[in-house]
Structure 1
Amino acid sequence: MTTTTTAPPTTRLGYIDNLRVLLTVLVIAHHCAVTYGALPVWYWAEPSTSPSGIALMLFVIVNQFWFMGAFFLLSGLFVAGSVDRKGPGAFARDRVIRLGVPLVAFLLVARPVLSLPQWPAARAEGETFLHFWFTVGDPGPLWFVEVLLVMSLAYAAFRALRARSRASLPAGTGAVAGRPVSLRGIAVLVGVLTVAAFLWRLAVPTGTYWELGGLPTPAYLPQYVILFVVGVLASRRGWLTGLTARQGRVALIVAVAAVGPALGTVALATAPRAGMLAQVGASLAESVFAVSMIVGLLVLFREKFSGQPAWARFAARNAFAVYVVHALVLVGVAVLLAPLTAPAGVKFLVLLVLSVPLCWLAAHLLRRVPGVARVL
């Protein structure tokens, strides 16, 4: 990726906030899909192997290829500038508050509430309610917050160590931006993701769950780390403005074309006695799809959806709080919808349409509680 020297932007970008809102809605849709699809991995599940249930499962798998990686990239975009302004120590303390407090609150309050259907079985085995409340389950969707906190603190430590080893650059200098991002640079990113995913999955295959930390998709950790780093570098080197409209259009076309190969190669790679070639093919196809989707959407939102009317600012302001509370809203609505007899796809749509506005309403009301907006 070729670059020239200039100062980085220091203000938030409307199209990035708008894209983050879209990704947050996609997270809600993802968890609506696991509620009714053929992959029941949610607090409340009514699994279905009907055609619509299978379609929801495929929707979940395709999401997994890229959307959490996109979240980590967007998160990385503003990390370097924040450390510039606050310094590594103040940045680390801020991250512990902004990410650590919601994580602990979810573990101590939301997680036990969401796991209450398991209480009768636990009680029958002699477990006390107090032990159940404080030990049941994992961080659920807040595994993202957990991993992001670790990455943010690691970056703060890196900056602190670098500052000790040499004189720090003044804020706003030494950054780069400007010339277009080359196709070769994009291909290098795909290659790095492919190699990292292939080697990592020799030890951590797709479908692995890490009980320590409650990570549901540790097979994708290399993608998350690399894209977070790409976000940090992109903020320094102007890679977002360097992407051209044509590259964005081509990327979206490639993403659409790569969906089928990605699903097919992953199916082969996760089959019993899958060979190395299948593993390489799956890693490559996933990486092509992920990078293409992210590049395409970044350019699309920069070119077409950069404005922020009042409703968009409201949505962006509450997006993180929505991520934190959406599990409680979804499960509550799904329980109320349980008596409804309908195909899985219909129930998915009903749950999604009801839950999206309710999640933003719940987030808005929660942030009005004194002190909460400081964290959420």
Structure 2
Amino acid sequence: MSAPPRPVTAHHPDLDWLRVLAIVVLHLFHTGMMFNTWEWHVKSPQALPALEPVMSVLHLVRMPLLMVISGAGTAFALRRRGLGAFTKDRTKRLFLPLVFGMFVVVPPQIYVERLFRGQFQGSYAEFYPTVFGFVPYPAGSFSWHHLWFVAYLFVYCLLALPLFAALRTQAGGRFLAWADAWLSRGVNVLWLVVPLALTRVLLRDFPETHALLDDPRTFLLYGLLFLYGHLLGRCPGAWDRLVALRHVLLAVAVAALFVEVVLPWPLMPVVPAIVGGTVLLWSGLLTALAYARHRVRTAPAWLPRAQALSYPFYILHQTVIVCVGFLCLRLPVGPWAMLLAVLLLSFTVTLALCEGVSRVSWLRPLFGMKPRAAPPGVLTPEAVG
């Protein structure tokens, strides 16, 4: 028996739940980066290659899921505000934390990496002025590091403003009605994989730099995911179709996962491997969205608080992992015990810092958090607007 239709509300507990889950997975992934054989800021002297098959799959879906959810979030936000208010809100919640992060949150990562590699021996106070040389990392100390996602999302929001304006017109309304009807038929939503696969195939020779201007493959791929998320946010019928297709989507994702993990990729041509990975990416995202929409119909008691802390957690987590990981290198333990220590300590420290940030009014906007709720009976400007 299918679930009853979900009423249209301003809250989407399924997407909030997925966002929190994606942030937790991201923390696990970045902790694992210290222990696999891939290049990263701080590395354990003993690698754990066993982590890499799982991390390879997570790498395909972790950030794309966040981008699709962010794209849907823009659609929900534009239901409640005009383009001017939307632009102001995204500047406060994306650009301000990005600038703060580049000058305050990210530099400790670069400092610790320099210490780890023996490229710097002084104190942090001696290192910090090098940030203001504005020489891009890795040659210099100016970078957004893991905050690339925030930078890209802000740029997408700005570039999409004409599109958002067009979708408010009668012609835009007709297009959205057509898109909703098309996405609600058969397995049409799966065909959105084609532009993603073409992007990854045609631009396969461009490295993933996260530097915006020289990163066409990543920029276009995540731009498509942002637009797909926005389109889904505008097409309520598509969600019902996703729920109805959830078992089919899961089967496609499992089959793509089998091909990705089991088949000997060194013997496979490059293009089929990229296409297979893209099918896994898109079917995996749709499966997550479908099952979350089907299962998470009301917000559990812990979700609002977790959702509120997820953004500052994202901003802080990698810096904490790098710093805690560097300190844990001195522990006289094996790699698995060190992995567990770094994971638990960094998660606890990051969560404690987020709790602290949430309680300091002037810090909240620097981490993308909304102003603290006013006491009962007191109207804030946001409430009046």
> Could you say which TM-score interval applies, normalised by the shorter chain?
0.7 to 0.9
Tell me the equivalent position of 1:225: 223
CA contact (8 A) 1:138 1:213 kept: no
Displacement after TM superposition at 1:143 (Å)? 0.4
Alignment partner of 1:192 is 2:187: no
Taking structure 2 as the reference length, the TM-score comes to: 0.79
TM-score using structure 1 length = 0.80
Where does residue 325 of structure 1 map in the other structure?
Answer: 316
Matched, 1:181 2:190: no
1:1-376 pair list within 5 angstroms: 9-41=8-40, 43-46=41-44, 48-49=46-47, 53-117=48-112, 118=114, 121=119, 129=127, 131-134=129-132, 135=134, 136-160=141-165, 181-201=184-204, 203-204=205-206, 207-209=207-209, 211=211, 219-238=217-236, 239-245=238-244, 247-263=245-261, 267-268=265-266, 278-374=269-365, 375-376=368-369
How has the CA–CA distance of structure 1 residues 305 and 351 changed in structure 2, closer, same or farther, with 3 Å as cutoff?
A: farther
> Runs of 5+ in structure 2 lacking a partner?
1-5, 135-140, 370-385
Total equivalences in the alignment: 347
Q: Would the aligned equivalents of 1:243 and 1:299 in 2 still touch at CA under 8 Å?
A: yes
Question: 2: distance between equivalents of 1:46 and 1:213?
Answer: 32
> Quick check: 2:71–2:226 contact (8 Å CA) kept in 1?
yes
AA partner of residue 240 (structure 2): T
Contact 1:37/1:344, CA 8 A, preserved across alignment:
no
**Quick one: distance in 2 between partners of 1:261 and 1:177?**
31
One-letter identity of the residue aligned with 1:31: H
- Is the Cα–Cα contact under 8 Å of residues 96 and 149 in structure 1 kept in the other structure? yes
The answer to whether the 8 A contact 2:105-2:315 is kept is no
Distance 2:186 2:60 in 1: 21
Q: CA deviation at 1:244?
A: 2.8
| Cα RMSD (Å) | 3.3
Q: Higher mean Cα deviation, 247-256 or 85-94?
A: 247-256
Q: Is the 8 A contact 2:152 2:212 kept in 1?
A: no
Shift of residue 155 of structure 1? 1.6
Q: Deviation of residue 267 (structure 1)?
A: 4.7
How far apart in 2 are the matches of 1:330 and 1:319?
16
Take 1:10 and 1:199, find their aligned partners in 2: how far apart are those partners?
40
Cα distance in 1 for partners of 2:288, 2:167 equals 34
Deviation at 1:178, TM superposition (A): 7.7
**Counterparts of 2:311 and 2:76, CA distance in 1:** 19
Distance apart, 1:58 and its partner CA: 2.6
Classify 1:198/1:94 alpha carbon distance in 2 versus 1 (closer, same or farther; 3 Å).
same
Q: Measure how far apart 1:123 and its partner are.
A: 7.5
> Does the residue aligned with 1:310 lie in a helix, a strand or coil?
coil
- Structure 1 SS opposite 2:55: helix
Unaligned runs of 5+ in 1: 1-6, 270-276
CA distance in 2, matches of 1:94, 1:141: 22
2:68 and 2:260 map into 1 onto residues whose CA distance is 21
Range with bigger deviation, 150-159 or 92-101? 150-159
Change over 3 Å in CA distance of 1:210–1:141 after alignment to 2? closer
Larger mean CA deviation between 128-137 and 354-363 belongs to 128-137
How far 1:263 sits from its partner (Å)? Answer: 4.8
Q: Mean Cα displacement is larger for which, 108-117 or 352-361?
A: 352-361
